[in-house]
Structures are given as structure tokens and as C-alpha cells.
Amino acid sequence: MALTALAWVLADPLRAERLLTLTGLTPEVLRDNLTDRPVLAAVLEFLANHEPDLVLAADALNVEPATLIAAHESLSR
């Protein structure tokens, strides 16, 4: 789910830039560590911290926003 959420974020250039700016992730980190829990957790945290994006992402992924929040919490443990 986190990888799909990342693809959704990266599909919008402005949102992608905001992800990189707010999380400190870089394109290189994303490429080299795409499946690492901390990277995936950072993507979901990015969505969790901005409700409009959280709601839009949940709608695009056909899940409830709470599902994305739960996935973030799971990855953050």
C-alpha cells in the first residue's frame, strides 16, 4: 500500500516536490531504499500530516484514510 501511495504522490510534480522537501528524502534515497520500512513510513507520514492529500490518496487507492494511517503506524513500529 505504501508503494502505491508513493506512486500516487510522485504522479503530481508539486506534491512530489513537497514530499522531498518535507521529508528530507531525495530521489536517490527513494531509488536505493524504496522498500525500506523507514522510507515507506515517511511517505505515509507525509500523507498523514496533510489531510487533503490523505483523503485524495485514500480515494485514489480505494481505501479509507484510516487504513493509510494504520499502515503508517504499522511501518513506524
**Model confidence pLDDT, tens digit, residues 44-74:** 999 999 999 999 999 999 999 999 999 999 9
Cell for 34? 524504496
Q: How confident is the model at residue 76 (pLDDT cuts 50, 70, 90)?
A: very high
User: Residue 5 in contact with residue 69, Cβ under 8 Å?
Assistant: no
List Cβ neighbours of 16 (8 Å cut-off, separation of 6 or more).
Answer: 9, 10
Q: How confident is the model at residue 8 (pLDDT cuts 50, 70, 90)?
A: very high
- Please tell me the predicted confidence (pLDDT) of residue 47: 98
**Model confidence pLDDT, tens digit, residues 24-41:** 999 999 999 999 999 999
Residue type, 23: T
| DSSP letters for 2-51 | HHHHHHHHHTSHHHHHHHHHHH---HHHHHHTTT-HHHHHHHHHHHHT-H
